[in-house]
Amino acid sequence: MTRRTIRTIILLATISIAGLVLTQLFWMDKAFELREREFDDNVTAALREVGLQIKDINKDSSEVAPVRKLSRNYFVVATSDTLHPYLLESLLENEFRTRNILTDFEYNIYDCFTDSLVFDGFVALSGQEYERPTEVEIPRSDSDSHYFGVYFPDKQNYLSGQMGLWLLSSGILLMVFAFFAYTLAVIVKQKRLSEIKSDFINNMTHEFKTPISTISASSDLLMSGAVEADAAKRQRYYRMIHDESDRLRLQVEKVLQMAQFDRSEIDLNLVDADLHQLIRKATASVQILLDERKGSIGLELNATDPISSVDELHFSNIIRNLLDNAIKYCKHEPRIVISTGNIRQGIAIRVSDNGIGIPTKLQREIFGKFYRVPTGNVHNVKGFGLGLFYVKSLVKAHGGTIVVESGDNGSTFVVWLPTSRK
């Protein structure tokens, strides 16, 4: 699958998910509206029935006044006389129960002679403990006759509670999204892994091919006896074989070390060492490489306390890797500066170069295993993308940190290690 296909799939999937969510929300809203209308009709019919019963009791033969909805939760019915609250309560409760309107309600009775709402009672029909919501705004009817009103404080929740099927389907939809997102994440991860794998194989082939062909050409030449007479030439070919097999060994070691890191087996042979001395040694070991590129290294070893508890071999490899990179990723003559200083009860080692730099957004990635800054598949600089992973793992194992600062004019890697406290 190409990157473009994955991107298209993600885009289409996001659009369809957004479409599904919107449709679900739309239908849920419609369903709620429908339920509310049903509830209102039911309440209106119940209140009308209560109005009729009151008229019957009062032997009043006039028409029942229409039920009026004054707000979303409040309904009023005009009556021709004042009412006894308990009578009203029992009529209302009875009627609501018969019609299965099982949500809490408050009722009040308006007395037009005194112009006041004379009784405020409530009934917990839901069977749950009732708590009167504070700051309830119950509108006043503009009617100038007696009336009673019924207020449903919990109407919205009651209706939502009846939308169980919708909530279930939304839950299922959410689960489908979660699975879908997970699947996409796995696809993207697999894709990255397969890219890394093929990059690694490409790089490895490349890294191993060159020394192997040099060794094989040199040994062919030596075996053919063509340089039998020339001792200096012979010596050169022996050295070539030696150097190239050394390089191969280093590469193989790097790969093997990764397997060890994966199993978290970093064995450190810690000794109190003078880091300045180790830095000088590591610098000397890249001198030949530097000479080939007409480069130079400046040392500004200013730390007053350069003693740290490190594994000497691993520490030298950390510096060696940083120096190798500083030389490799430089288009002109490498100018490298290594400086040290004591900060935060430790020693900071800064390796600065005048190389090609690392784009800001990739600076976090470069420490990842097999990660190489994409160079458009041009293998002008060889590597496995393991060097900085190795460096970071080891710095961490030593209880230290590593950060990179990089711009167009070069990069600086800052390694901080704790100094030995006596």
Q: CB-wise, 127 or 376, nearer to ligand ADP?
A: 376
Write b or e for each residue in 265-292: b if 16 or more Cβ atoms lie within 10 A of its Cβ, otherwise e.
Answer: eeeeeeeebebbebbeebbeebeeebee
Structural contact between residues 252 and 287, judged by C-beta atoms closer than 8 angstroms: no
Nearest approach, Cβ of residue 256 and ligand ADP (Å): 15
387 binds ligand ADP (CB under 6 A): yes
73 binds ligand ADP (CB under 6 A): no
Angstrom distance (rounded) from CA 95 to CA 49 = 8
CA distances 265 to 1, 138, 153, 271, Å, are 36, 72, 65, 19
Q: CB-wise, 118 or 258, nearer to ligand ADP?
A: 258
Angstrom distance (rounded) from CA 335 to CA 410 = 10
147 binds ligand ADP (CB under 6 A): no
Write b or e for each residue in 241-258: b if 16 or more Cβ atoms lie within 10 A of its Cβ, otherwise e.
Answer: beebeebbeebeebeebb
Question: Interacting stretch for ligand ADP, rule CB under 6 A, among 50-58, 63-71, 90-98, 383-391?
Answer: 383-391
329 binds ligand ADP (CB under 6 A): yes
315 binds ligand ADP (CB under 6 A): no
Helix (H) or strand (E) holding 108: strand 105-111
Name which position in 286, 355, 402, 415 contacts ligand ADP (CB under 6 A): 355
CA dihedral 119, 125, 128, 132 (to 10 degrees): -20
Name which position in 353, 398, 402, 415 contacts ligand ADP (CB under 6 A): 353
Name which position in 366, 402, 415, 417 contacts ligand ADP (CB under 6 A): 366
Angstrom distance (rounded) from CA 349 to CA 277 = 13
Q: CB-wise, 279 or 366, nearer to ligand ADP?
A: 366
For ligand ADP, the binding residues in 169-198 under the rule CB under 6 A are none
Nearest approach, Cβ of residue 263 and ligand ADP (Å): 20
Q: CB-wise, 225 or 376, nearer to ligand ADP?
A: 376
Q: Which residues contact 203 (CB under 8 A, 6 or more apart)?
A: 372, 379, 382, 383, 384, 385
Side chain identity, residue 219 = S
Q: 3-class DSSP state for residue 374?
A: coil
383 binds ligand ADP (CB under 6 A): yes
Helix (H) or strand (E) holding 262: helix 231-262
Question: Interacting stretch for ligand ADP, rule CB under 6 A, among 109-117, 132-140, 333-341, 381-389?
Answer: 381-389
Q: Which of 50, 118, 112, 120 is nearest to 80 (CA)?
A: 112
H-assigned helices in 117-230: 155-161, 164-224
47 binds ligand ADP (CB under 6 A): no
356 binds ligand ADP (CB under 6 A): yes
CA distances 340 to 23, 44, 275, 302, 306, Å, are 63, 85, 9, 5, 8
Ranked by CB distance to ligand ADP, the top (closest) residue is 383
Name which position in 240, 318, 358, 394 contacts ligand ADP (CB under 6 A): 358
Nearest approach, Cβ of residue 394 and ligand ADP (Å): 13
Q: Which of 353, 356, 381, 384 is nearest to 370 (CA)?
A: 384
334 binds ligand ADP (CB under 6 A): no
Nearest approach, Cβ of residue 5 and ligand ADP (Å): 27
Report the half-sphere exposure of 153 (CA within 13 A, side-chain side).
Answer: 19
384 binds ligand ADP (CB under 6 A): yes
Angstrom distance (rounded) from CA 185 to CA 191 = 10
326 binds ligand ADP (CB under 6 A): yes
Q: CB-wise, 240 or 330, nearer to ligand ADP?
A: 330
Q: Which residues contact 60 (CB under 8 A, 6 or more apart)?
A: 54, 80, 81
Name which position in 46, 91, 386, 394 contacts ligand ADP (CB under 6 A): 386
Name which position in 9, 21, 373, 414 contacts ligand ADP (CB under 6 A): 373
415 binds ligand ADP (CB under 6 A): no
Q: CB-wise, 62 or 377, nearer to ligand ADP?
A: 377
Question: Interacting stretch for ligand ADP, rule CB under 6 A, among 100-108, 132-140, 158-166, 368-376?
Answer: 368-376
388 binds ligand ADP (CB under 6 A): yes
The residue to which tokens 């071999």 are assigned: 313
385 binds ligand ADP (CB under 6 A): yes
Q: CB-wise, 310 or 323, nearer to ligand ADP?
A: 323
297 binds ligand ADP (CB under 6 A): no
Residues in the site for ligand ADP, rule: CB under 6 A?
Answer: 325-326, 329, 353, 355-358, 366, 371-373, 383-389, 411
